[in-house]
């Protein structure tokens, strides 16, 4: 017998939140905006204090991190997105460093309580199921562990398959809101990003299973793959860049060992076209992040090619991807999950790709990392390193060999300076002729 669904207002729903509670928000495009606004109204009324808020990256506004809510809400998210970055750096919000694969484990192990899960779902089907749509990630674990689950039922949430499908019996309260999901906007790749895309694409073999992050570089890579064959997707997220390759039959998952023929992801971040693509699409499996980002599951597919970016890399191959010195910029995310998984995959390739210089023209390849910078991918994990000037494989290379290889694809204006720094570090036996 199906559970009867009774809708309440957002303001009525958030009354279940008590001072001291831990709340989970569904992430990215699925952030439950109507509940967030209602929760902030309770904060404005002085009804709450010391409420901790957890989530992955969310799109849209994050007013609960504002200075005025100090002592009322305290954001402790698993990733620092652009909408909370300023307040995290100012100390009004915070960040929990964690591998993306283990975010679900925080809840399931009891390390992190979850009192109230606020999620967004599709309209119920005739079997009494709703879909989490564009974001499963750690939200499924939060639903399983929460004292109370509040779901925003939204006709614009796509009916995604896989772990996204949950019975309405797992939900305690229902709120209706039919606003469009928050889209993500990506700029077109510039000349440098296009060159990086070409260098990465040259490393991708037919039959590879792909993981790549967000932004212009992944889109530049995908734009170069039109003549490839039998590519697969096993990733933490994908966006619009994969759609033309699916339409052409380039991405078909035919060479995958597990989830053959399926595109596996844990969240999406793209346009409405991307969200429409997964609606009732059996080719797409939206899975728990404990599955998508498990390095040992990732490694089961052959030729896993993982492409991730960095903020700074030193001459020994230490990769900083989460901070600018002491200021946190993003988070660990799934980079090391996929770097390790790809490196264990038969024929796999783990790639770190970035422009050689910042927008201000400062070299992103540095003699040493900026003081306070966090090492996400260690010098022991790094394999391929790519800039617009080429691709080098650092795996199995000594420190001096690595330095020479990295300087060879640094910006030409900085090669002599980096050469001098390496000479000072490694002594007179180091010799690289900057070009």
User: Tens place of pLDDT for every residue, the chain, 435 residues?
Assistant: 566 788 999 999 999 999 999 999 999 999 999 999 999 999 999 999 999 999 999 999 999 999 999 999 999 999 999 999 999 999 999 999 999 999 999 999 999 999 999 999 999 999 999 999 999 999 999 999 999 999 999 999 999 999 999 999 999 999 999 999 988 888 889 999 999 999 999 999 999 999 987 778 988 999 999 999 999 999 999 999 999 999 999 999 999 999 999 999 999 999 999 999 999 999 999 999 999 999 999 999 999 999 999 999 999 999 999 999 999 999 999 999 999 999 999 999 999 999 999 999 999 999 999 999 999 999 999 999 999 999 999 999 999 999 999 999 999 999 999 999 999 999 887 766 555
What are the C-alpha distances in Å from 272 to residues 53, 180, 181?
Answer: 27, 8, 8
pLDDT for position 302: 97
Strands (E), 146-224: 148-153, 161-162, 165-167, 173-176, 209-212
Residue 318's pLDDT is 98
pLDDT of residue 435: 55
Question: Which pLDDT belongs to residue 215?
Answer: 76
Candidates 236, 388, 401, 416; catalytic one: 236
Q: What is the pLDDT of residue 214?
A: 73
236 has catalytic annotation: yes
Cβ neighbours for 369, distance < 8 A, ≥ 6 positions apart:
312, 314, 318, 320, 375
425 neighbors 315 (Cβ within 8 angstroms): yes
Q: Dihedral of the CA atoms 226, 228, 231, 235 (nearest 10)?
A: -60
Nearest to 103 by CA among 328, 291, 308, 345: 291
**Burial of 380 per CB tally in 10 Å (0-12, 13-18, 19+):** exposed
């Amino acid at each position: 017998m199906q559970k009867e669904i009774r809708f309440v207002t957002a303001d009525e729903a958030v009354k279940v939140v008590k001072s001291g509670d831990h709340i989970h928000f569904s992430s990215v495009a699925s952030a439950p905006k109507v509940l967030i606004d209602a929760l902030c109204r309770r904060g404005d009324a002085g009804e709450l204090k010391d409420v901790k808020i957890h989530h992955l990256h969310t799109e849209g506004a994050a007013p609960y991190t504002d200075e005025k809510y100090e002592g009322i809400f305290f954001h402790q998210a698993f990733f620092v997105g652009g909408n909370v970055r300023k307040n995290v750096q100012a100390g009004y919000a915070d960040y929990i460093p964690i591998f993306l694969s283990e975010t679900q484990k925080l809840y399931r192990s009891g390390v992190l309580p979850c009192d109230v899960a606020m999620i967004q779902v599709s309209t119920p089907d005739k079997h009494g199921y709703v879909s989490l749509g564009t974001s499963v990630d750690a939200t499924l674990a939060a639903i399983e562990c929460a004292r109370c689950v509040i779901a925003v039922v939204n006709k614009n949430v796509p009916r995604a398959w896989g772990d996204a499908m949950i019975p309405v019996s797992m939900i305690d309260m229902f709120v209706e809101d039919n606003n469009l999901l928050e889209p993500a906007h990506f700029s077109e790749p510039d000349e440098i990003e296009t060159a990086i895309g070409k260098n990465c694409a040259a490393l991708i073999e037919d039959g590879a299973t792909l993981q790549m992050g967000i932004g212009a570089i992944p889109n530049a890579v995908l734009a170069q793959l039109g003549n490839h064959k039998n590519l697969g997707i096993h990733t933490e997220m994908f966006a619009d860049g994969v759609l033309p390759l699916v339409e052409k039959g380039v991405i078909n998952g035919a060479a995958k060992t597990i989830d053959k023929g399926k595109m596996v992801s844990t969240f999406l971040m793209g346009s409405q076209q991307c969200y429409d693509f997964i609606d009732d699409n059996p080719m797409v499996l939206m899975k728990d992040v404990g599955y998508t980002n498990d390095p040992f599951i990732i490694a089961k597919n052959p030729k896993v090619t993982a492409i991730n970016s960095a903020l700074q890399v030193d001459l020994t191959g230490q990769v900083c991807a989460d901070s600018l010195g002491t200021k946190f910029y993003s988070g660990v995310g799934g980079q090391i999950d996929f770097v390790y998984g790809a490196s264990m995959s038969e024929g796999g390739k783990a790639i770190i790709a970035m422009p050689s210089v910042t927008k201000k023209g400062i070299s992103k390849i540095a003699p040493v990392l900026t003081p306070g910078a966090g090492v996400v991918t260690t010098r022991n994990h790094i394999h391929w390193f790519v800039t617009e000037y080429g691709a080098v494989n650092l795996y199995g290379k000594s420190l001096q060999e690595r330095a020479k290889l990295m300087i060879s694809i640094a910006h030409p204006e900085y090669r002599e300076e980096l050469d001098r720094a390496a000479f000072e570090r490694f002594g007179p036996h180091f010799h690289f002729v900057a070009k």
